[in-house]
A and B are shown apart, each in its own frame.
Chain A
Amino acid sequence: MALLPVYLPLAETAIDGLLLVAIGAGVGLMSGMFGVGGGFLVTPMLIFLGVPPPIAAATGANTVVASSAAGAIAHWRRGTLDLKMGTLLLVGGLAGSGASVWVFGWLTKLGQIDLVVALCYVVLLGGVGILMFAESLRAMLAKPAKAVAAKPAASKPRGQWLRGLPWQMRFPKSGIETSALAPLVLGIFIGVLTGLMGVGGGFLLVPAMIYLLAMPTATVVGTSLFQIVFVSANVTFLQAVSHQTVDIVLAGLLIAGSVVAAPLGARLGAKLGAARLRVLLALLVLAVAGQLGYGLVERPDDLYSIRFDVAPPPQGETP
């Protein structure tokens, strides 16, 4: 039974306010620790609690704005945010999410949008999770536990192939030198996918920066959060304008929990160390991928469902 039921004016249902604050705290902790926005966790949870899916997705994005902003600021103060890299990723990301609207329309016309989105989730989450898990486990086993936190694997020849590309640029914060094209193209690619999947993209961005750009894990988290702030703010605004699906009461409760927990997450992450952090994130991503994959393969309890109507019936007083 709900301890403190709060009526959510746009979701049009009542949910326990304390429960929502607790969920927000969980997302904030995750966000500060791993540099993921937590959109891929909060949206399914809200749907499970009875929030209509479009409102859960849009309000989830609004929550991610706060948790990633809190995390990004914490990393900025600690000096673990590569602003130069983040800006390049962001430019690509905004262009990509613009393009995704077009891709979305094309797939809808083909009638395959549901299949593509579902497959994107499982394949990307699963692939990323397995890759990260294997790599970070190897790194963790190879070194003694206390050395892990000290130095991320900078000596490995990761990202070497990018040296041949034009527009070589130095990123002093991350201590790497690579082509400016790399973060731009990566940003576009992730922008398209996040536009399609409706998530911030942190779970893709973090491993991509580690394995493709060869950035040290220390700056990856803050830089990823930086770009997520803007991408999720963009999604929140567009959803509020075109579908009125952002419930600020719901978002406010989730945000209250998440902003308090995000700085704690950042501190906890710093203590845990790079390799262990990656193992945990990999396990989390794999768990979500497994859950989603199982949901796709398993026969649902009811094959029939009612599509949520974005425009609800008018208020009673209008004749």
Chain B
Amino acid sequence: MMRSALALLALLAFAPAAKAQPLVADLSSHLIAITTGFAGTELLLFGATEGEGDVVVIVRGPDSETSVRRKARVAGLWINRDEMRFAGAPAFYRVAASKPLAEFVPPALRQRYQIGTDYLRLQAPADAAPEEVASFRAGLLRNKEAQDLYDAEIGRVSFLGPRLFRTRILFPANVPTGAYSVEVLLVRGGQVIGAQTTPMFVNKVGVGADIYDFAHDWAAIYGLLAVLIAVFAGWAAGAIFRK
């Protein structure tokens, strides 16, 4: 009784705000469950806008410290030599937009919302030389793109009629686990007039998750088990194939 009364109150309080909201969006699912048969998946993001404007969607995986190494020639051999650590690199990153970004998003906005790999705020050590930071940063982006974790290409957000929009977000098999954020911006006249951030999770579930937890929580028993399984398999095959 008390709860429904509160809910009604909340509805009344937020009703006017909801009406004026310029942007509403949601995902087909907020959880990507990685099972044993997982080989990548696709989520649908859909929403509606109030009035004119174009839409940008930014998908970010959890940030982590990332070390980039550079090979150099030592006595005729290519060896890993220098290393630079970047903070704030998302584990996964995708952008989609309803029009080419250059046509409706000014650089200041791209900077602020980190729209496009060139605008990602990757923090290099303070004492590093700017030209070194630039080349290590480019190396990081190249490698992430090669692993399909970043995409320099902008995905397409398509409008169905004047208000409804949708886009598909592809996640490869090697999608990192963790808490993701999906940010949707409505841009009109070079200004963000509506924004919504939706959380999303990528988790291992089932047997895979159990194995992962076991390997980390009971490392010694796991290691012993791995060895025993291998020895047993070798013995069993020998026993079966003996003639």
Contacts and interface: CB of A to CB of B under 8 A. Distances in A.
A5 B68 contact: no
A65 B230 contact: yes
Interface stretch (A124-132, A182-190, A211-219, A257-265): A257-265
A13 interface: yes
A275 interface: no
20 contacts: A5-B173, A7-B39, A9-B204, A9-B212, A14-B174, A66-B229, A66-B230, A115-B79, A118-B79, A240-B219, A244-B222, A259-B238, A263-B241, A302-B142, A302-B146, A303-B71, A305-B80, A315-B178, A316-B178, A316-B202
B173 A14 contact: yes
Interface-centre pick from B71, B136, B143, B203 (highest chain A CB count, 10 A): B71
A50 B139 CA distance: 18
A13 B173 contact: yes
A10 B215 contact: yes
B223 A241 contact: yes
B140 A304 contact: yes
A68 interface: yes
B189 interface: no
B234 interface: yes
A10 B230 contact: no
Contacts of A14: 38-40, 173-174
Given A7-B208, A248-B226, A312 B38 contact: no
Interface string A1-18: 010011101101110000
Interface of A: 2, 5-7, 9-10, 12-14, 50, 62-63, 65-74, 77, 114-115, 118-119, 229, 233, 236-242, 244, 246, 248-249, 251-252, 255-256, 259-260, 262-264, 296-300, 302-307, 309, 312-317
A72 B231 CA distance: 11
Interface stretch (B9-17, B59-67, B98-106, B120-128): B59-67
Nearest to A116: B79
B80 A246 contact: no
Interface of B: 34-40, 62, 64-74, 76-80, 83, 91, 135-136, 138-140, 142-144, 146-147, 173-174, 176-180, 201-204, 207-209, 211-212, 215-216, 219-220, 222-227, 229-231, 233-238, 241-242
Contacts of B135: 304
The 3 closest A-B pairs by CB, nearest first: A304-B139, A240-B223, A69-B234
Contacts of B147: 50
A67 to B, nearest CB: 7
A10 B211 CA distance: 8
A77 B230 contact: no
Given A7-B208, A70-B235, 7 more contacts: A9-B207, A12-B176, A50-B147, A114-B79, A240-B215, A240-B226, A316-B203
Given A118-B77, A297-B78, A246 B91 contact: no
Given A9-B204, A240-B223, A307-B67, A256 B143 contact: no
A241 B219 contact: yes
A179 B39 CA distance: 56
Contacts of A251: 226, 229-230
Given A260-B237, A313-B178, A306 B216 contact: no
